[in-house]
Amino acid sequence: MATPQRKVPTTSPYARPLYKWLDRLAPIGLALFMLTVFVDYSWWMVQSPARMMSWRGLIFFAIWIPTTLFYVIMAVKDIVQNWNSRWEFAGPKKRNPLADTIGVQKADSQREFFRSVTGKRYDLTQRPFFRWLFHRRWYQFAAQLPNVIIFNIVIIAGLIGVVNPNRNFATVITWYVWFGVLFVLMIGVGRAWCLICPFSAQAEWVQRLGLFGKGKKLLTLGLKWPQKYSTLLISVFFFLGLTWAEEFYNIAGPGKPAFTSMLVAGIIIWDLFYALTFERRSFCHYGCPLNGVIGVVSAVAPFEGFRAKDRSLCKTCTTKECMKGSERSYGCGWYEYPGSMSSNFYCGLTGECFKGCPYENIGLAVHAPLKEAYQPRKKRFDVAIAVTLMMGALFFEVINATPQYAAFDTWLSQTTRWDVVAKLLDGQVSAYPNPLDYMGIILLWPLFGWGVARLGSLLSRGHIAARELLTRYAYGWIPLFGLGILARQLPKVLTNGPTIAQVISDPFGFGWNMLGTAHLHLYARNFAPGWILYVQLGLVVVGGAASMFVTQKITQLDFHGRPGARAINWLMQGVIVLQMGLLLALYFYIALVDPGHPLSPPF
Ligand code: SF4
Ligand code: SF4
């Protein structure tokens, strides 16, 4: 398994003055960009004296000025502290000779565990450009900054902008654009969203008291997250709670844009609380409602994440800067150790390990899609339960569009008096969705998964435990879930997404025309003819086929030669086909029963 000794360069190819100046000028350019956006928005606000003198202007400047001031002060601090090439890549250390004896033996003894790093892969860090980029301290900051600006505008727009969600930047960018892009990013690149995430960015900047430099002091109590609560299920329950709240308050439109602001601001404050209390990115592991979905769907992506190139070297490395941090890098925010990573599940692509490893032993490989779903030897029970719960949430999202569900939900709310409580909570008039049927439908899927696993265990005549079957085969559901949920977002993204052209010029609906596109009337129907339904169905079929492929691979890799493996494989394939068929029928049905729907098929 260990790779042969590599030739490592002894000096940095980027020590030349051009690169040094680029290093210095890039952060200055980013800081200036930030200031330009600030000045531009403030200018347009000042141009509307009636609004500026109202409570709207007060909220705008109360959020806008302190946040920009914080970023500018931090940027200046980082630039001054790092002016003299502290970002410069120092050149790799010589390879430890023990790596070729002791390290190789140790790495070989774990060959089976690390089977995920085998097969055809292309390491992007072979390209000088990527090596240069990942060594830059401002690499992540540059990726985060535009998003941070966008989501700060979202908070302001929802609070002070017009109530019409289709004219308000907060609703349009968050639910009609971002939510669709998020799933495309997960399926294409893995945790690319986490690289540019504005929630963790701002919390981490406060925790590190800097935007991109490597400081020495941290602003946090640095508590460790209790081991016994270290499970993905926390994040999945937050996701389910958030999904329910989104449906109840209709946050994703046509509800009030202010709810979107509160949601985004709430996540940022919540993240900040974690960052000030716990070490590193504990929020990402145990607080973020998106963590479970992103981690799971990332398994579909053809991206490995940052990982050690040669594990035999790691076996003899005593300093472990990739994990613990170094002079020029922070330790991995996700507490990952690249020398033992076997999946991209928790790689947030921050690149700190790449900067930290003194041996240049970190790579970022691209490989065939789906590999991260079936290759890892270590598959986790909490991830499996999370997958089944999220599949339940996907089915709820589709079932809730049927008239039968609407009738049942209304009946249940009246029977249980939930409609009275819902009124007090300022929810929808219909009190939809009743928490009982919401959780009831979702919980059907873990129960179904468990029942199938029990049946599989019977087919193996008790030789394979149901828990093991559920743990391993639930990974096979991931592609169907990933593409199925993308299909669910598609109508909203394609029908309402084009309004982004208007709102980027007039984000608050005040009649501004910042980019000259405020009067571009791009109507949904121009972009969402009946064929979108067929794209949805196509995505589900591709997801189902990919799930069947992953299931087959799991049988080959994890259960080969074990009792009943063939019969179990048929059973698990049947489960995928059943779920795929159900999704196809539901997508078709909801378009069919709603002839006014822009997605109803052309017949
Ligand atoms: S896990 Fe959540 S908070 Fe953390 S980077 Fe990803 S999306 Fe952002
Ligand atoms: S990846 Fe980490 S453990 Fe491996 S050689 Fe580099 S610093 Fe050491």
Q: Per residue in 9-41, pLDDT tens?
A: 455 556 667 777 777 788 888 888 888 988 888
pLDDT score at 213: 84
Q: Which of 292, 491, 519 lies closest to 384 in space, CA to CA?
A: 292
- 3-state secondary structure (DSSP) of residue 601: coil
For the CA of 295, the nearest ligand: 1
**pLDDT-based confidence at 251, cuts 50/70/90?**
confident
Instruction: Let me know: does 20 contact 88? Beta carbons within 8 Å.
Output: yes
Q: Where is pLDDT greater, at 497 or 158?
A: 158
Query: Is the bond leading into 198 cis (omega within 30 degrees of zero)?
Result: no
Q: If you take atom 4 of ligand 2, which residue's CA is the nearest one?
A: 314
Atom of ligand 1 nearest to the CA of 197: 8
Rounded Cα–Cα distance for residues 552 and 573 (Å):
8
Q: What's the first-to-final CA gap in the chain, in angstroms?
A: 58
Q: Which residues contact 22 (CB under 8 A, 6 or more apart)?
A: none
Residue 82 has pLDDT above 60, yes or no: yes
Q: Which of 590, 377, 371, 417 lies closest to 487 in space, CA to CA?
A: 590
Structure tokens at 302: 């053809």
Task: Write the DSSP symbol of residue 514.
Answer: S
Residues whose beta carbon lies within 6 Å of some atom of ligand 2: 308, 313-314, 317, 320-322, 338-339, 357, 359, 361-362
Which residue among 283, 286, 334, 350 is best mutated to probe the pocket of ligand 1, counting the most ligand atoms within 8 A of its Cβ?
A: 283
Number of CB atoms found within 10 A of residue 72's CB = 16
CA of 132 to the centre of ligand 2 (A): 19
**pLDDT-based confidence at 76, cuts 50/70/90?**
confident
Give me the residues paired with residue 110 across strands. Answer: none
Q: Which of 244, 290, 286 lies closest to 434 in space, CA to CA?
A: 244
Q: Where is pLDDT greater, at 105 or 418?
A: 418
pLDDT score at 16: 66
pLDDT score at 227: 87
**pLDDT-based confidence at 117, cuts 50/70/90?**
low
Residue 395 has pLDDT above 90, yes or no: yes
DSSP letters, 428-489, are -TT-PSPHHHHHHHHHHHHHHHHHHHHHHHHHTTTSS-HHHHHHHHGGGGHHHHHHHHHHHH
Residue 421 has pLDDT above 80, yes or no: yes
For the chain, what is the radius of gyration of the CA atoms?
25
**CB of 495 sitting under 6 A from ligand 1:** no
**What percent of the chain lies above the pLDDT cut of 90?**
53
pTM exceeds cut of 0.85: yes
**pLDDT-based confidence at 204, cuts 50/70/90?**
very high
Q: Which of 468, 446, 445 lies closest to 456 in space, CA to CA?
A: 468
